[in-house]
Amino acid sequence: MIIYIKNHEFHYETENLARVFFPNEKIEVTNTVPDELISPYIYTAFDNGENTAITTEIRIGDYQDSRKAEFRTDSSDLELELALLIYDMLVKYTGVTPPWGVLTGVRPIKLFRRLLQDTSLEEAADYFKKRLMVSEEKTNLAIETEKHEQAIIALSQDKSYSLYISVPFCPSRCSYCSFVSASVERAKHLIEPYTELLCRELEETAEYAKKLGLRLESVYMGGGTPTTLSAEQMQRVLTAVNNNFDLSECREFTIEAGRPDTITEEKLNVIKACGVDRISINPQTLNDDVLRIIGRRHTAQDTIDTFLLARRCGFTHINMDLIAGLPSETAESFIDTLDRITQLDPESITIHTLAMKRSSTLTQDGKTLNKEEAEAVAQMLSYANKKLHACGYIPYYLYRQSRMTGNMENTGWSKPGREGIYNVFVMDETHTVLACGAGAVTKLKENKNNTLERIFNFKYPYEYIDRFNEITERKKRIGTFYAEHY
């Protein structure tokens, strides 16, 4: 599909909205408008004068539709007006009404919070439903999630920050995954030198935090699967954190244990002894057939056994991730998984929607999204909403990704008071995140003007090892950033 753009700059929003309706299509955006448009296409044009006339047209095969409307040229909502015209045409053509309306961004809760700063709750909800075309169900979810997020955001102070630690190794690559991570089979020789340099980067990063008088609120070790490290390597990394960072005010220390096939009693005891108070054990599904299809090398029973082992080792805050929409997963099997997970009674459960990322094996193997799968995912998430509420969980953070099945969302649910606060700080972009390891991105937050500056580490473990000194040079920007803004 070609999107023709004439006399306006709203390329990004137009393309992303079209992708909501055509997730499997290759979409090309161009400012070059030929005399004869090439079907299938979406044509968008602004004619600026005292008012701005917006013209939109769609042609796919024999189907053709167009819209034209005039708006004040100085209106701040011209991008939204264009989106609404396109949305109306595409709903009519496809018969699909996206639950998040014209919203395509990652952080709808942050948008809702901005609305609340200028309007009442009722007005903000009406804007979501009547102006942005968000469904009643998703609007209510946004209202509830924002309320719980706000209480966590209020914990942050001017010099608060969080620490992210990346361990980009996994026992195998899941078919849906697009993260930059290396399988242990192929990258085992890199793990030890990587561990050594990660400890060194943690030491150097801690020096900046000390000199600047920053206050550590949360620590999150993710990846990848951090528990691919040996117990001894894990102890060295966690000791580097404990010995170099001031954890006296730290509210949460999370490790994404993730894969049950990487977790041992020895590793859990090391993690617990080093002060980690929250871990994730992520089944994704308790359907063994689906686990095999997505490339997981463990069974549903392995997940349950590992959860019970973690309880015996003294962990009182365990998160579990599920994915709605995995290949061959039905609404019935997802419901069975969620029912069994809630019986385990973890403190928090994150419900992800399958996103078809370009670099994932699923996408590269030709997997596409279809209407039937979207309808099944809608059933899964609707059931999850009711079930988790009934079991005493609350939605405390939410984000969205491109090419999600059914254009849905990822939602973190927890028992009250057991929220994963790092997740909220990151999604809201509340404060600085100092990040260490391959693929990690340090985000420096300036609160007065609400700006964010990023420092990127190299993505791949071999790059991280070979060019570590360049990372050290880049991170000197932490000091100069705070000197300039604070």
Q: Would you say residue 8 lies in a domain?
A: yes
Q: Are residues 351 and 450 in the same domain?
A: yes
Tell me how far apart the terminal alpha carbons of the chain are, to the nearest angstrom. 48
pLDDT grade, residue 448 (50/70/90)? confident
CATH code, 390 = 3.80.30.20
Residue 181 pLDDT > 60, yes or no?
no
Q: Are residues 233 and 277 in the same domain?
A: yes
Q: Would you say residue 485 lies in a domain?
A: no
Query: HSE-up of 92 (CA within 13 Å, CB side)?
Result: 15
Q: Are residues 219 and 265 in the same domain?
A: yes
Neighbours of 232 (CB within 10 A): 11
214-273 pLDDT, tens digit per residue, is: 999 999 999 889 999 999 999 999 999 999 999 999 999 999 987 899 999 999 999 999
Q: Are residues 48 and 89 in the same domain?
A: yes
Q: What are phi and psi of 158, to 5 degrees?
A: -55, -40
- Put residue 32 in one of left, alpha, beta given phi > 0 → left and psi -120 to 50 → alpha: beta
Q: Which of 94, 117, 138 delimits the end of a domain? A: 94
pLDDT at 106 (0 to 100):
94
Q: What are the strands of the beta sheet with 432-436, ordered from one edge?
A: 394-399, 410-414, 348-353, 318-324, 278-281, 252-258, 215-223, 160-167, 432-436, 441-446, 451-456
Q: Are residues 117 and 216 in the same domain?
A: no
Q: Would you say residue 188 lies in a domain?
A: yes
Q: How far is it, in rounded angstroms, from Cα 420 to Cα 254?
A: 8
**Of all residues in the chain, what percent carry a pLDDT higher than 70?**
94
Q: Are residues 344 and 443 in the same domain?
A: yes
pLDDT grade, residue 184 (50/70/90)? low
Residue 378 pLDDT > 90, yes or no?
yes
Q: Would you say residue 101 lies in a domain?
A: no
Q: Would you say residue 347 lies in a domain?
A: yes
Residue 144 pLDDT > 90, yes or no?
yes
Q: Are residues 455 and 308 in the same domain?
A: yes
pLDDT at 369 (0 to 100):
67
22 residue type, one letter: F
413-432 pLDDT, tens digit per residue, is: 999 999 999 999 999 999 99
Nearest to 212 by CA among 160, 165, 157: 160
Residue numbers of the domain that contains 356: 152-472
What are the DSSP E strand ranges found in 391-479?
A: 394-399, 410-414, 432-436, 441-446, 451-456
Q: Would you say residue 284 lies in a domain?
A: yes
Residue 21 pLDDT > 90, yes or no?
yes
Q: Are residues 68 and 212 in the same domain?
A: no
Q: Are residues 141 and 260 in the same domain?
A: no
Q: Are residues 350 and 415 in the same domain?
A: yes
Q: How far is it, in rounded angstroms, from Cα 66 to Cα 127?
A: 25
pLDDT at 128 (0 to 100):
98
Q: Are residues 167 and 63 in the same domain?
A: no
Residue 171 pLDDT > 80, yes or no?
no
Q: Are residues 47 and 128 in the same domain?
A: no
pLDDT at 258 (0 to 100):
79
Q: Would you say residue 478 lies in a domain?
A: no
pLDDT at 75 (0 to 100):
79
Nearest to 280 by CA among 347, 193, 364: 347
305-354 pLDDT, tens digit per residue, is: 999 999 999 999 999 999 999 999 999 999 999 999 999 999 999 999 99
Residue 4 pLDDT > 90, yes or no?
yes
CATH code, 26 = 3.30.160
Q: How many domains does the chain have?
A: 3
